[in-house]
Amino acid sequence: MSTRIRTRQRTFGVVAVVIALIWMFPVYWMLNSSFLPYNRIRAAEPTFLPLNGSLSAYGRVFDSNFFDTLRISAMVTGLTVVAALLFAFLAALALSRFRFKGRRSFILAVLIIQMIPAEGLFISQFKLLEGWQLLNSVIGLSLLYIAAVVPFTIWMLRGFVNGVPRDLEEAALVDGCSRLQAFFRITLPLLAPGLVASGVYAFLQAWNEFTLSLVIMTRPENMTLPLWLRSFTEANRVSDWAGIMAGSVLVAVPVMIFFLLVQHRMTSGLVSGAVKG
Amino acid sequence: MLLVPALAVLVAALGYPLYRQAVISFQEYGLAQQFGQPPEWVGLDNYVALVTDSYLWTVIARSVVFCLANAAITMVIGIALAVLMTLTSRGPRLFLQIGLLLAWAMPHLASLTVWQWLFDSQYGVINWLLTNVGLDQFAGHSWLIDQLSFFTVATVIVVWMSVPFVAFSVYAGLTQVPGELYEAAQIDGASAWSRFRQITVPLVKPVLLIVLLLQIIWDLKVFTQIFVLQDAGGITAQTNLIGTYIYRLGLGEGEFGLAAAASWFVLLLTVVLSLYYVRVLVREEEL
């Protein structure tokens, strides 16, 4: 490599590092601010390193109704993940293993349906759940979430099921396995990574969703985590940014770890599949 | 049989509301109906009321401008960063990817909260920075009061969140261009620019198209960001985009009939856009 190319590469490297630092800064700032005591967060000069910081802000978060909302969020998300995975898995099996009339149009419908934004439908979804007495209920919100994530999970799982060669199942049948055995011994283990990826996708969607939970969970005692963070911010905006940042950290960090684990699979799925943002 | 559970959920939670939305949009469905009065059939009145309401057109125009501006800025920065990734050595590239991933992984509400803190008028680090480089008018500057600066903040946040997806997808597309093509072109005497124009652009075009389309669809329905920023001090009437407008109309004022009619604008726009997207997808993949 000539020196000219090498210096050029180095210049681009420096640019990349600077941009990376700018892009990370908000995340860093959230962590940093969450460790600062009152007097330093409200100083004329910002504190850039949380030296001699404290965890007191986290204590203030735990004293609020954080754990109640965490419980609601956990229930909604759990229900969504389990149901969406189960339903989508069955549908994916049907779509990839059997030929039937309407199969192609079902796949097309799935692709189109999953682009429908909550913002175009929440008014009548609200009316629907109101009519069924399901406003402010975990079941009601989960129902909407399941419908929102099922199309993409079907699409994603279908790709994985297609990836398991039929010959393998047939070989197992020839060797004397029953259909059920062949399924549990051969197909299911091979699909495990796909199920994990789709499950994490459903988890992230349900855990982070804001619009629908804002519409459906109108009572303060039924808030999900994103709603809680919003109202906690409103309540403490004037006085306690450290507490607000600690709340953000608690909402964000567990999810970010999950996201980083499956990011790779999701990116490829996004371009070759279809996904709602 | 295996399709039944999935179908049932979709029909119950999407299909039926879709039907109800159509029905309500032809009815007088306001606060009185909310308290038990039977809704009155009014035909196209809701649509007429909306179409003749100049505020709706303001909101739609605002949404479209916001959407196109955000999609364009996101695409430009995203593509630039993807190209940058191909030009650097491993270390800086990895560092840049980590930076982008962190932003991408942040839940929307958490990032919105952090950005509010960054833009805080009194103790926000952005005002501090601007004041320190000599722009004294930013001392205690309130970003959300003014319409234009409200949307600047919203754009910064939306772009910050969306660039990672574009950058990673385009970068993945770029790395799939076989290196021999470049070598062959170089031997044939093609300049770097014409190699980029003649080889890279056509090969990456499908990815660019899909990503651009997704950006437009997503930016058109942006709700959370605007809603939360309005809470934080924006003036609602000046900053409504179509999503927040429907919300305030329906759940704020109880005008469900009007809100349902307005929802159709969003629905139709996205479905038209996504039909095209689905066509591109289906062409690429054997069903």
Over residues B87-120, the pLDDT tens digits come to: 888 899 999 999 998 998 899 999 999 999 999 8
The pLDDT tens digits for B10-58 are 877 777 777 777 777 777 766 666 666 667 777 777 777 777 788 888 8
The pLDDT tens digits for B125-165 are 888 888 888 777 777 788 888 888 899 999 999 999 999 99
Are B282 and A245 inside 8 Å of each other by CB?
A: no
**SS3 helix, strand, coil % of chain B, rounded to 5?**
80, 0, 20
- Tell me if A216 sits within 8 A of B65, measured CB to CB: no
- Tell me if B277 sits within 8 A of B207, measured CB to CB: no
Residue B90: CA atoms inside 13 Å, Cβ hemisphere, count? 0
Mean pLDDT of B275-285: 71
Are B14 and A143 inside 8 Å of each other by CB?
A: no
pLDDT, position A24: 93
Pick the closest to residue B208 from A84, A4, A199, A271 (CA basis): A271
Read off the CATH number of the domain in which B200 is found. 1.10.3720.10
User: What gap in Å lies between CA B111 and CA B157, rounded to an integer?
Assistant: 8
Residue B150 lies in a domain: yes
Residue B208 lies in a domain: yes
The answer to whether A86 contacts chain B (CB < 8 Å) is: yes
The answer to whether B277 contacts chain A (CB < 8 Å) is: yes
Residue B23 lies in a domain: no
The answer to whether A70 contacts chain B (CB < 8 Å) is: no
SS3 label, residue B26: coil
Residue B90 lies in a domain: yes
Range of the domain at B191: 40-284
- Closest-CA distance, A6 to chain B, in angstroms, reads 9
pLDDT, position A191: 84
**Tokens describing residue B219:** 């930016």
Contacts of B153 (CB under 8 A, 6+ apart): B115, B119, B143, B144, B229
pLDDT, position B30: 66
pLDDT, position A277: 35
pLDDT, position A274: 36
Pick the closest to residue A160 from A96, A103, A215, A100 (CA basis): A96
Residue B24 lies in a domain: no
With CA atoms as reference, the chain B residue closest to A155 would be B287
**Which residue from B91, B108, B164 is facing A208, i.e. has the nearest CB?**
B108
pLDDT, position A38: 74
**Which residue from B13, B100, B169 is facing A143, i.e. has the nearest CB?**
B13
The answer on pLDDT for B71 being more than 70 is yes
With CA atoms as reference, the chain A residue closest to B16 would be A128
The answer on pLDDT for B227 being more than 80 is yes
Residue B33 lies in a domain: no
pLDDT, position B65: 92
User: What gap in Å lies between CA B125 and CA A172, rounded to an integer?
Assistant: 64
Number of domains into which chain B is organized? 1
User: What gap in Å lies between CA B220 and CA B268, rounded to an integer?
Assistant: 12
pLDDT, position A276: 36
Pick the closest to residue B167 from B75, B256, B90, B249 (CA basis): B75
ipTM of the predicted structure? 0.83
Residues of chain A contacting B126 with CB distance shorter than 8 Å? none
pLDDT, position B161: 93
Residues of chain A with pLDDT under 50: 272-277
